[in-house]
Structure 1
Amino acid sequence: MKPIRQIMSAALLGSLLASVPTLAMADAVTAKAVVENYVTLAHAGFNDALASAKTLQDKVDAFVANPTAETQQAAKDAWLAARKPYSQTEAFRFGNKNVDDWEGQVNAWPLDEGLIDYVKQDVYDHEEGNKFANANIIAGTDPIDAALLQSFNEKGGSEANVATGYHAIEFLLWGQDFNAKPQDSGQRPYTDYAKGDACTHGNCERRAQYLKAVTALLVGDLQTMADDWADGKDNYRKAFLALDENEALRRMLFGMGSLSLGELAGERMNVALLAHSQEEEHSCFSDNTHNDIAENSRSIQNVFNGTYTRIDGSKVEGASLAQLVAAKDAKASETLVSKLADTQQKTAAIVTAAKNGENFDQQIAPDNTAGNKRVKAAIAALRSQTGDIEAAAKVLGIDNLNPENSDSFGG
């Protein structure tokens, strides 16, 4: 992959470097300090994800206890808010086995909705050959608990069998997105959780049990991960800090590069764009994919710049990869800082279009030339910055980083 040099004015470059305030102190930064700040950033991010999931759980409980349009909307709003901090943790995934092994139960997608609940069959596009695509757990008789839901994840060997995590909750709150109106997301009625004769589509009590169980499971999973990165415990954080410093730095950069290239640019964006399919977008029921993309991109920037803004507005910052690279090659660091900022601008354009009524599934539609161009620009920026992540790794003496790729790029 050939790096793409970006020509910038001195003023703009100065503005970008100001966003990494400790670059001027690069010579004083040690690898040990960078690694210690990384685990602190990870704990802050997962702790915020946990806190926002607990708020979601409170809103889900209130909705189930009193199903109204207002309590349903409050639960939806809490889900949307919970996605922001979680999406900023994803750069910690690929370089850390504890996160990578755990992620499938928390964030797996796309899911075959008929595994969980009723679907409108004439618009239901499920994985070919998935014999559980219409299992409808909610219409069954097995007691609904965490063990049952976990048992259905990847049941029959199909990755489309997703019974837990954010996107299962999303489907239970929004329902299928039929795309009847381009600006609409899923239109599940609140009466799907109503009592007695007011219940629509049957099984309202079991649907409520499922929603409560899957949300409680998410909170438990996030608690596990927050604990894994907490200070003062015999946990993954302690093991990470005990790694050889070069190996720790390699994992940090590998996580950045793999999210940037194979996962975000590839699986989450290019696959959907090539197929022009809403079924391939990340948060397809709520039409929140634009925010997922922007916050995933931000997570990569956070790790390199050594900063994270918490949900309460406070800022965590410390020794960074940007500083460490700058101490050896100022130009390499400045170039990556600027490319990460450029990618944020490209993903922000996708968010702006969505806020103006053109959701991601509309931007990737085959007849939307401007939308396709906007998405392609973000993909190109992600691919370009990955080349500079690899270059930064080489500056630190890490060769053959080989971040995870995507078949959508032809290998």
Structure 2
Amino acid sequence: MNLKSLLAQSVATSLVIASSSAMAANVTQEQVVEHYADIAHAVFADALTTAKTLDQSIESFLSAPSAAKLEEVKQAWLDSRVPYQQSEVFRFGNAIVDDWEGQLNAWPLDEGLIDYVSADYQYELGNEGANANIVANKQLQIGATTLDVAKLTPQTIADLNEVGGSEANVASGYHAIEFLLWGQDLNGTNAGAGARAYTDFVVGDACTNGNCDRRGEYLKAAAELLIQDLEWMEKQWSADEKGNYREELVNGSAENGLRKMLFGMGSLSLGELAGERMKVALEANSTEDEHDCFSDNTHNSHYYNEQGIYNVYTGIYKRQDGSLLSGPSLNDLVAQKDKQAAKEIQKQFDVTRAQVGQLVTSAETNGQFFDQLIASGNTQGNALVNETIMSLVAQTESIERAAKIVGITNLSPDTADHEF
């Protein structure tokens, strides 16, 4: 996504907000919470749709591997990240999402658990599974435990998550699939992403790096597990399912629902996005702490996290098919209480979205990706990331202001133990 399309989307969204706010007479807290559930369902449904497209692309690739087909699979993976990253705003306020999220999006990971790595591979100290190489071995010895991994099924992969007690042992989810598609990014803070050859999946004499059949089986099983997990979560938010999480949320107190919304927004903005995903990587100048590190897609990952926060505040979500889902929003509730405050809070959201958008522009227009921006000695790049962190902090303050206006006090978004 380039800057021009980002700006066009921002202007279009602002116009929708202006028109919806003008018509939003007497929006109730209950309506806002119910629409929040509608957006969550739409986002997870889109994540499921794009995961299924990814799976189909993987099937096609594995049936006859080629360089062109590998590029198609990579693009399907990149497309699948767009809705998923917008779902993370539902994590922190909803334990059901936060408890589930690790199997789909845990990072950083010690990729030597999964497949071959370079000789100078750096991994978490003390991680006994860091060099297990599931692709090359049908039996693993991790500590005192012997594991049979002869059959690579979705369940096998799920069971290997955090094997040996290490959070760095991530066997499943988007980043495991990303590593299998791109391979390691061996460029450090220089330009370039991972460059795995399609021949790593060619069964027979043309196979590179061995175990091409197993590597393909792993990729397929990981994609199937991703679909299974997303199917479960989509049903948790569906209005057509009985006794699910959505029903519990909308039948509970509206005040509690608003708190979940605002706490999720604030915690993603502050502790997670500003802290874990930017501050940690910047202060350590560490590409190991970069989010989509194998593909160099981190700029988009950050942008769509921010977009997810914006979606919840404005009550507007642009679906994968291009349609707009809009309805009663936090913005409406704030405007009903204090129109001037609503304008000021909206302005801060627009400023922060533009600031995070500069990371996209840096990568896609100027050729400076996030791993280059955080490099030691890149004064300009470091400043850009730091300015984005500070803008996210200011946005969190606006979220807390909005909370007070609608009657939610002592919000205290999660800082993830970071100081800003």
TM-score range, shorter chain: over 0.9
The answer to whether the 8 Å contact 1:64/1:208 transfers is yes
The two structures have a TM-score, normalised by structure 2, of 0.92
Inter-partner Cα distance in structure 2 for 1:386 and 1:114: 37
The answer to whether the 8 Å contact 1:153/1:163 transfers is yes
Q: After superposition, what is the alpha-carbon deviation per residue over 1:212-254, rounded to whole angstroms, capped at 9, x for unaligned?
A: 0000100111111111111121211111111101000000001
How far the C-alpha of 1:377 sits from its partner, in A, is 1.2
Return the match for 2:396 from 386, 391, 404.
Answer: 386
Q: Which residue of 1 aligns with 2:62?
A: 64
Q: Which residue of 1 aligns with 2:90?
A: 92
- 1:181-260 to structure 2, matched below 5 A, reads 182-234=190-242, 235-260=244-269
The two structures have a TM-score, normalised by structure 1, of 0.94
User: What secondary structure sits across from 1:283 in the alignment?
Assistant: coil
- 1:281-320 to structure 2, matched below 5 A, reads 281-320=290-329
1:79 correspondence with 2:77: yes
| Amino acid corresponding to residue 187 of structure 2 in structure 1 | N
How far the C-alpha of 1:25 sits from its partner, in A, is 3.7
User: What secondary structure sits across from 1:408 in the alignment?
Assistant: coil
| Amino acid corresponding to residue 383 of structure 2 in structure 1 | K
| Amino acid corresponding to residue 375 of structure 1 in structure 2 | V
1:372 correspondence with 2:369: no
How far the C-alpha of 1:19 sits from its partner, in A, is 3.8
Q: Which residue of 2 aligns with 1:112?
A: 110
1:271 correspondence with 2:243: no
Q: Which residue of 1 aligns with 2:3?
A: none
Inter-partner Cα distance in structure 2 for 1:138 and 1:103: 24
The answer to whether the 8 Å contact 2:189/2:374 transfers is no
How far the C-alpha of 1:26 sits from its partner, in A, is 4.5
The answer to whether the 8 Å contact 1:26/1:326 transfers is no
Return the match for 2:39 from 41, 51, 60.
Answer: 41
Inter-partner Cα distance in structure 2 for 1:199 and 1:223: 34
The answer to whether the 8 Å contact 2:374/2:381 transfers is yes
| Amino acid corresponding to residue 244 of structure 1 in structure 2 | S
Inter-partner Cα distance in structure 1 for 2:163 and 2:401: 41
Return the match for 1:362 from 369, 372, 380.
Answer: 372
How far the C-alpha of 1:394 sits from its partner, in A, is 1.3
- Which 10-residue stretch deviates more, 59-68 or 323-332? 323-332
Structure 1, unaligned runs of 5 or more? 1-11
Q: Which residue of 2 aligns with 1:3?
A: none
The answer to whether the 8 Å contact 1:17/1:337 transfers is no
Aligned residue-pair number: 398
Inter-partner Cα distance in structure 2 for 1:333 and 1:200: 58
| Amino acid corresponding to residue 189 of structure 1 in structure 2 | A
| Amino acid corresponding to residue 173 of structure 1 in structure 2 | L
Structure 2, unaligned runs of 5 or more? 1-9, 139-149
Q: Which residue of 2 aligns with 1:175?
A: 183
**Superposition RMSD in Å:** 1.7
Q: After superposition, what is the alpha-carbon deviation per residue over 1:167-222, rounded to whole angstroms, capped at 9, x for unaligned?
A: 00000000000017933110111111012111111111000000000001001111
| Amino acid corresponding to residue 22 of structure 2 in structure 1 | A
